[in-house]
Amino acid sequence: MKIGFSNLRNNLYIVLKPKFRKSIFRTFQNKFDTVNSCTKEIDCLTSSFYCYKNGEKSIPIYILKQIFQRCNVNNSKINKNISKIKTFSGIEIKIKLPIKSNSEFANLIGHLLADGHVDKSYRISYANKSEILINRFEQIVKNNFYYDIKAQKRLHLKSDTYEIRYPAIIGSLLQSFGIIQGNKTVIEFDIPKWIKNGNKDTKTSFLRAIFDDESWIRNKSITISFAKRREEQKSLIRFLLSIRKLLEEFDIKTNRILKHGSYKGKVVLGFSITGYSNLYNFHKFIGFDSERKRLQVLNEIKSYKRKVFRKGEGIELITKLLNGGKEIDIYTLSKKLGKHPETIKYHLKNLNHKRELKRGSPSLVK
C-alpha cells in the first residue's frame, strides 16, 4: 500500500521544490489570456496566486489538485517534487512521497486500535504504563515521517501512565492506513486489509502491538479482550475473529471467544491462548516489546514440567508428523511431544481406527 499526493486530505498545505513550482505555475498561467481568468479558474485571489507562485506561501492541496489536473501532471512527478507538508497552524514535516506501508506502520495501527486514540481533528495520542512502548511508538513516527518537532510526552502520576501526543498532520497522513477516529467502543472496524494481506513481518508487528496493549498473562495463558457498545457486539466478534485468523497463520490455536464482563452499556469480549505449543509459538513468532510481558510469558512456558496440550492438540501434532512424508518411530514421537511411548501407541491405534492417517504414509518405523 502507498500514500501519495492524491491520497492527502484537502486541508493540508504543500511546499514544492522551487524549480518544479516555477515551471508548473508558468505552464498553468500560460493556458489563460489574463491572470484574472487564471485565478478565477481555481477560485483563488490574485495576490495569493503570486505568493504561491513565488514560494512566499505554502500552497493548499485543493488549489494544487486543480492546477495539476489542468496541466496533466502525473502523480509520480508530483510526489518527487513535494518537499514539505504543512497544516493551517504552521506545523510542517519534511516528507518523501509516496509513503509505503511497512511493518512499523502495522505496529502503529495496532497501538492506535488498542491503547491509542485519534480525535475528530486527527490529533493522535497513545498511552501506556510501559515507557519502552511509548519510546518505540515515538521512534517509529520519527523513522517514517522525518518528524523533527518534539512530541508532547508526559506521565500521569495518578494512573502511573505515560502518554505521547502528536498534532493532526501525522493523523492526516495515517488516515489511508486504517486509523479509526473517535470512540472505538461505538465504531465498527476491522483489521485493515493491507495488514491482513501483508507479509509475515507486517502481521507479526500488528499482533505484537495489539497484545502489548490489551493482553494479560497468568495461569499459563495469554488473554486478550476489548470493550464495545452492546449494539456493536457483532462488530467486535468479527474483529476478534480476524485476530484469531492471523494467529492461526503462525500455528497458534486459540480458545473460543467468551464474554469477560460488561459495564455502562458496553460488553467485554475476548479469548485466551493456552497450551504449551501455542504459548511457545506465540513467544517465538509474535512476542512482546513490553519487557515485563516478554518475561512473563517466558516464565509461563518454562513452568511446564512436561508439555501439556489443549484438547485434541496432541493428536493434531502426531497426525501432522506422521503425514509429513518422513519415517519416524514411536520413541522419536515420544521425545518430540514429551509424552510416554505407551501414550503415543494408544493415540496411534485410535488414529488408524478413524483412518486419519494418509494411505501410503511412511507412518511408523517400529
* Residue 93 scores a pLDDT above 90: no
Closest C-alpha among 364, 301, 356 to residue 330: 364
175, 225: one domain: no
29, 63: one domain: yes
Q: How many CA atoms lie within 13 A of 342 on its CB side?
A: 0
pLDDT mean over 76-95? 89
pLDDT band at 325 (very low <50, low <70, confident <90, very high): low
Contact (CB, 8 A) for 8 and 85: yes
User: Residue 37: how many CB atoms within 10 A of its CB?
Assistant: 10
Task: Give the domain-ending residue among 40, 69, 96.
Answer: 96
Instruction: Look up the pTM and report it.
Output: 0.80
232, 285: one domain: yes
Residue 180 CA to residue 112 CA, distance in Å, equals: 8
pLDDT mean over 202-220? 97
Task: Give the domain-ending residue among 37, 64, 96.
Answer: 96
pLDDT at 145: 79
Q: Is residue 135 part of a domain?
A: yes
pLDDT at 103: 96
Q: Is residue 188 part of a domain?
A: no
pLDDT band at 364 (very low <50, low <70, confident <90, very high): very low
297, 337: one domain: no
* Residue 335 scores a pLDDT above 90: no
pLDDT at 343: 77
- State the total domains in the chain: 4
110, 159: one domain: yes
In CATH, what number is assigned to the domain containing residue 28? 1.10.260
Q: Is residue 363 part of a domain?
A: no
In CATH, what number is assigned to the domain containing residue 150? 3.10.28.10
pLDDT at 363: 43
Residue 89 CB contacts under 8 Å (≥ 6 apart), including other chains = 167
Q: Is residue 169 part of a domain?
A: yes
pLDDT mean over 278-285? 96
Residue 97 CA to residue 366 CA, distance in Å, equals: 62
pLDDT mean over 240-249? 98
Between 121-135, 167-181, 203-217, 341-355, the lowest mean confidence (pLDDT) is in 341-355
* Residue 239 scores a pLDDT above 90: yes
Work out the angle between the directed axes of helices 330-337 and 313-322 (0-180°, nearest 10).
140
pLDDT at 362: 39
Between 9-23, 61-75, 207-221, 351-365, the lowest mean confidence (pLDDT) is in 351-365
Q: Which helix (H) or strand (E) holds 111?
A: helix 103-113
Q: Is residue 67 part of a domain?
A: yes
253, 339: one domain: no
Q: Is residue 222 part of a domain?
A: yes
83, 148: one domain: no
90, 104: one domain: no
Residue 123 CB contacts under 8 Å (≥ 6 apart), including other chains = 165, 166, 167, 168, 171
* Residue 366 scores a pLDDT above 60: no
Q: What percent of the chain has pLDDT over 70?
A: 91
Closest C-alpha among 203, 208, 204, 235 to residue 224: 208
164, 246: one domain: no
pLDDT at 260: 92
Task: Give the domain-ending residue among 261, 282, 302.
Answer: 302
The residue segments making up the domain with residue 21 are 2-96
pLDDT band at 184 (very low <50, low <70, confident <90, very high): very high
Q: Is residue 22 part of a domain?
A: yes
pLDDT mean over 7-11? 86
Q: Is residue 223 part of a domain?
A: yes
78, 140: one domain: no
pLDDT band at 324 (very low <50, low <70, confident <90, very high): low
Of 157 and 58, more confident: 58
Q: Residue 117 phi/psi, 5° resolution?
A: -150, 140
* Residue 14 scores a pLDDT above 70: yes
| Range among 195-199, 332-336, 344-348 with highest mean pLDDT value | 195-199
119, 173: one domain: yes
16, 73: one domain: yes
C-alpha distances in angstroms, 277 versus 49, 233, 252, 272? 65, 31, 8, 14
